[in-house]
Amino acid sequence: MSTAIFPLAIASEEVRLLTAIGLGFLFGFSLERAGFGNARKLAAQFYLYDMTVFKVMFTAILVAMVGLYTLAGLGLADLSLMWINPTFMWAQVIGGFLFGAGFIMSGLCPGTSVVSAASGRIDAVVTFLGIFIGTAVFALVVDFVPGVEALYNGGSMGVSVIPEILSVSTPLFMLGVVIVAGAAFVGAEKVESIFQRKYGMVEHAPKVTRRTPRLKFAVAGSLALVAVFAAFVPPPNVDLPARPMETIEPLDLAELIIAGDPDLKILDFRTVAGQAGSNAIPGSCSCGTDVDKAAETAASVPPGTKIVIYDEFGIWNEVPGSWPESVEYRYVRGGYAAWETDVRTAAETTGHTLAERERIERQNQISAFFTGAAAAQSSSVAAPPPAMPMGGGAKKKKAGGC
């Protein structure tokens, strides 16, 4: 089941159409407040002394785009249930150019002609009438003039979005759009102020001595959008290369355990089957084979902690790239098998050199400690801490389990 709550599934057709009135109202109202009820202000876009069309349109596109794709990215909106304009490249390229020509002739586009007509402008009413005529002309032309239907369906690409065409991720593409638009806003403010000296301002527009510092507004708004955007974009999930890991001898580990080193954390990476039939290294906690869970543990311990990992035979000898670098990692040479033979088994008593006899002595003491024979031989060392099943490895630290 999809968790998306948008687009809303409105059962009642009447309620759905009521939302159209409300959203249409907001659409018309914001166009009017932007100055789009005035054909002169719209036309000024093409003589460069009032770039309001560009500024309003791109601000709206940025807001809706970032909002929509952020909600889609969070799983709250399902784009597959929305109607996205299908691409008919030739029809839209030629239609767009023709539309631009009509736009500068009339000074209005279909949506703004509705707003302008509602503001009482007669030229807007005439424009809207013209749009009706043009729509009828096309319906006739597409049927009776050869080749027009081919153009109408020309360059069909179905539902196509630009990030797909460019093979870039949608967040990255949107970030690019936000940055380019932000730069274009700043440029538009400059161009506008240059050409205003030439042509003056459109009536009802803000006076040349502005109260609202729009250039600063453009910069601040763009930066805010980038910031909002950056907060929503998840960090790229780069696979860092694994690092080689150094070993620790089972006997050395055993001594660290006996000494009660507070910085020691032992992670048991044997498979469940491997753990079932045998003991574990005392104080270790079981991670199973969950590397991500272990990465969380590694990230939660304070810097300087020594993390020792072991598996059955000491096969695992690399630090996964996702594990933090502030921690020291070692793997038990030979794994648990070596622990069994080196630590939990008493050594042969025959040694020829002094060094060898010392090693045997040491192994015997340690093995006695870990096999429970300690009490008989030496009362100076305490009993070993029991192996913790999950998450109890180092009780003294806040760092939780595996």
Partner 1 sequence: MEAKRYWNPYVAGALLGLTLLATFLVAGQGLGATALPKRTLALAAHEVAPAWTEANPSIGGYVADGQNPLRNWLVVEVIGVVIGGFLGAMSAGRFHVKVEKGPRISTRSRLRYALGGGVVMGIAAALARGCTSGQALSGGAMLATGSWAFMMMVFAGGYAFAYLVRRQWI
Sites for partner 1 among residues 65-104 (CB under 8 A) = 65, 67-69, 71, 77, 79, 81-89, 91-104
Pick from 116, 286, 297, 365 the residue near partner 1 by CB under 8 A: 116
Binding map of partner 1 across residues 127-166, x = CB under 8 A, - = no contact? xxxxxxxxxxxxx-xxx-----x-xxx-x-x-xxxxx-x-
Nearest approach in angstroms of CB 152 to partner 1 is 6
Nearest approach in angstroms of CB 36 to partner 1 is 9
21 binds partner 1 per the rule CB under 8 A: yes
Please state, as a whole number, how many other Cβ atoms lie within 10 Å of the Cβ of residue 307: 23
Residue placing its CB nearer to partner 1 in the complex, 32 or 249: 32
367 with 344: CB under 8 angstroms?
Answer: yes
| Total residues found in the chain within this entry | 402
114 binds partner 1 per the rule CB under 8 A: yes
Binding-site size for partner 1 (CB under 8 A) equals: 137
DSSP 226-266: HHHHHHHSPPP---PPPEE-EEE-HHHHHHHHHHT-TTEEE
- Rule CB under 8 A: which of 186-245 touch partner 1? 199, 204-206, 212, 214, 217-218, 221
288 binds partner 1 per the rule CB under 8 A: no
Residue placing its CB nearer to partner 1 in the complex, 47 or 382: 47
Nearest to 62 by CA among 226, 292, 210: 226
The first and second tokens of residue 91, run together, are: 């029809």
Burial class of residue 270, CB neighbours in 10 A (0-12, 13-18, 19+): buried
Burial class of residue 262, CB neighbours in 10 A (0-12, 13-18, 19+): exposed
CB burial readout 324-357, b (16+ within 10 A) else e: eeebebbbbbbbbbbbeebbbeebeeeeeeeeee
Pick from 26, 238, 273, 355 the residue near partner 1 by CB under 8 A: 26
324 binds partner 1 per the rule CB under 8 A: no
Residue placing its CB nearer to partner 1 in the complex, 63 or 242: 63
Pick from 11, 73, 168, 173 the residue near partner 1 by CB under 8 A: 173
- Rule CB under 8 A: which of 33-62 touch partner 1? 33-35, 37-41, 43-47, 52, 55-62
CA distance 158 to 160: 6
The first and second tokens of residue 367, run together, are: 């093995």
247 binds partner 1 per the rule CB under 8 A: no
Q: Which helix (H) or strand (E) holds 298?
A: helix 291-300
Pairing of β 156-158 and β 87-88: antiparallel
Nearest approach in angstroms of CB 48 to partner 1 is 9
121 binds partner 1 per the rule CB under 8 A: yes
Residue placing its CB nearer to partner 1 in the complex, 160 or 289: 160
Residue placing its CB nearer to partner 1 in the complex, 109 or 319: 109
- Strand-pair partners of 306: 264, 328
345 binds partner 1 per the rule CB under 8 A: no
Residue placing its CB nearer to partner 1 in the complex, 163 or 324: 163
Q: Which helix (H) or strand (E) holds 42?
A: helix 39-43
Q: Which helix (H) or strand (E) holds 194?
A: helix 170-199
Residue placing its CB nearer to partner 1 in the complex, 38 or 286: 38
